[in-house]
Amino acid sequence: MSNEGLKKIKELKFANKATLNTELKKNNEVKVKKEASPRPSNQLEGSLLGWYSVLSSYSLNENKLYSFSMFNEPLIIYRDNDSNIKCIKDLCPHRGSSFIGGEIKDGELVCPYHGARFSSKGNCTNIDRITCNHIVDTNYDNYAKKIHLYQYPCIERDGYIYIYYTGKAKTDINEFNIESKLEQTIPDTYGFNISEYEHEEVTVDFKADWVRIIENHLDILHIFWVHGETIPDKDVSKNVITSFDQEIIRDKYQIQSKYNHKDKDKGEFITIKFIPPGRVMIYKGAPETSRYVQVLDHIPLAQNRARVIVRHYRKFLKNKLLNRIIMFRQLQHKLFYQVFKEDYLILRTQTFNHQMGYIEKDNVKLLGEDKMVQYYWDWLQNAFIRDKPWELHPTTKNTNSIHEDMGMLYPPENPSLAIKNMRSIRMNTLIRALIPIGFIILLI
Ligand code: FES
Ligand SMILES: [Fe+2]
C-alpha cells in the first residue's frame, strides 16, 4: 500500500474513534481503554479475544432472541426497550436454564423456566415471582443483587452487530476494559464505503473447524478448481488456472494480498484481506475501484462448528424492483449454497486431519500462492498460545449437543433452508410465466 493509502487509513481510524467511544458509552456504558500511539510494524497484531461481528442489524427484530455461541459458550443477543443491543451469556442466574424458548416482554428478557424478568441493565425486576414471600420480605436486596445476567459489551455499527468477546461474561458491564479497537475491524477503516453498494447476505454453518474455513477464504488457488463451474466469471474456470504476480502487504492491523494478472494490461484480478480475529474481505479487482466486494465474518461457534456470514456488496444491479423481478436474492442464495457445498467435504475432512495432528509444518508443503495462509498461520499460532480461547469453556465428547442440534443453518444440515429457497425460485418463476398467459386469456 502506498504511503498516501496508509495515511488515509490512519486518518479514518482516528476520525471514527471519537464517534465509536461516544456510542459505546451511550449504549453499554463500558470503559474504553486509552489507545497507545500507533507504531510502525509489519507484524500482524490482534487477539483471538476481542471484537467479532456476529450478526446483521436487520436480522435482529424487536422482541427476538438470537442464540449462538462463541468458543463453546452459548450466548443470546436481543434488543432492549430502547432498541439497544444486549449480549448475555445464555444462562439464567436463578436455576441455570437457557433463555432459548424465553421471550422479550416490554424490553425485558423473560426466562422460560420460572418467569424471572431481567431489565436492560441485567438485574431481576420480579424477584417476588421466583421466591417465597417471607424470603422476599426480609432479604429482597440481597437476592436482587445475586440474581443478575452475565453480559458482554456489544455495539451496532454500519448494519453490523459486534460483540466484545473475552470468554468471561460479567454482571457489571463497566468492569470490562476494552483493549482492542473496533476501528481495526470495521470495513470503512479500509476505504470501503458500504453506502455506495447494494448487498445480499448468506449465513451458513459448517461442522468444521473455524480456522479451516478462514484458510479456505484466503486460498486463491482452490477457487479455479473447486468453484470453476459455479462462479459466474469467465476468469474463474478449471481451464484457465494461472499464476499471478502476488504482492503481500502486512501491517499490525491486516494482511493484504493483491493478485495481479501476469498480463499487465488486465490489471488486478483480486485482493484479499485478513483482519483479525475473523474477518476476510475480498475485492474483485483493485479495492479502490472494485464493483464487487465480499465481507466474510467467521464465528467460532464451537470446536467443530463455525458460522460464516457472507455479505456481497455490488455497484451493479442496484434497482430493488428489478432485483425482485429477476429474483436476484434467491439466485444468489442458491449460488452460495452451491459454492459452500463444494467446499464442505474438503473442510470437514481437513478438520479431521488437523485434529489428528496430520496438518503440521513437515506434512504439508505451502506453495508461493499460499503465502497468505502462511502469514495467517504465523499470527494464529502465537494468538492461540497467548489467548487459549478453547480452554475458556472446554467441552468433551459427552457434552450435550443441544446448541448444535437446534442451531445449524447450513443447508445440508438444515435442508429446509435450501428447499425454501428453491420453492421460492420455482413459485416466482411460475408467477412470472402465468402473467402473460393471463393477459392473453383476458384479451381473448
Ligand atoms: S431458571 Fe430462570 S427463572 Fe428460574
Ligand atoms: Fe471455497
C-alpha cell at 308: 460464516
Residue 187 has a pLDDT of: 85
Q: Ligand 1 test: best mutation among 91, 94, 124, 126, most atoms within 8 Å of CB?
A: 94
Within a domain: 123:
no
Q: Report how far ligand 2's centroid is from the alpha carbon of 216 (Å).
A: 6
- Name the more confident of 100 and 413: 100
Q: State how far the Cα of 152 lies from the Cα of 164, in Å rounded to an integer.
A: 6
Comparing 435 with 342, the larger pLDDT belongs to: 342
Is 44 a domain residue?
no
CA 227 to centroid of ligand 2, rounded, Å: 7
Nearest atom in ligand 1 to 112's CA: 2
**258 lies in a domain?**
yes
Tell the residue number behind the cell numbers 451496532, with chain if given: 156
Q: How many CB atoms lie within 10 A of CB 185?
A: 25
Give the distance (Å) from ligand 1 centre to CA of residue 235: 57
Q: Of the bound ligands, which one is closest to the alpha carbon of residue 93?
A: 1
In this predicted model, what pLDDT tens digit does every residue of 396-429 receive, in sequence order? 989 998 888 888 888 878 888 889 999 999 998 9
In-domain check, residue 443: no
pLDDT tens-digit readout, 214-241: 999 999 889 999 999 998 888 888 887 6
pLDDT single digits (tens) 315-341: 998 898 999 899 999 999 999 999 999
AA identity, residue 278 = G
pLDDT at 32: 39
Residue 23 lies in a domain: no
What integer is the mean pLDDT of 184-204?
89
Number of domain units in the chain? 1
Q: Please, what is the average pLDDT of the chain?
A: 86
Report the nearest atom of ligand 1 relative to the CA of 114. 3
CA distance 217 to 403: 26
**Total-model pTM:** 0.86
Tell me what pLDDT residue 179 has.
85
Give residue 233's pLDDT: 84
Instruction: Report in angstroms the alpha-carbon separations of 19 from 10, 13, 182, 275, 426.
Output: 15, 11, 11, 21, 46
- pLDDT (tens digit per residue) in 232-265: 888 888 887 678 899 999 999 999 999 998 888 8
pLDDT tens digit sequence for 33-85: 444 444 446 789 999 999 999 999 999 988 999 999 999 999 999 999 899 99
Domain-located, residue 32: no
Q: How far is the centre of ligand 2, averaged over its atoms, from the C-alpha of 298 (Å)?
A: 14
Note the ligand closest to the C-alpha atom of 347.
2
Of the listed ligands, the closest to the CA of 294 is 2
Asked whether residue 269 is domain-assigned, the answer is yes
Q: What is the pLDDT of residue 184?
A: 86
Range of the domain at 407: 187-428
Residues with a CB atom less than 6 Å from ligand 1:
92, 94-95, 97, 111, 113-114, 116, 130
DSSP element (H, E) containing 161: strand 160-165
Q: Which residues surround ligand 2, an ion (CB under 5 A)?
A: 216, 343
With respect to residue 441, please indicate whether it lies within any of the assigned structural domains: no
CA 214 – ligand 2 centroid, Å:
10
pLDDT on residue 12: 42
CATH number of residue 349's parent domain: 3.90.380.10
Taking the centre of ligand 2 as the mean of its atom positions, its distance from the CA of residue 341, in whole angstroms, is: 9
For the ranges 17-31, 138-152, 384-398, 419-433, the lowest mean pLDDT is seen at 17-31
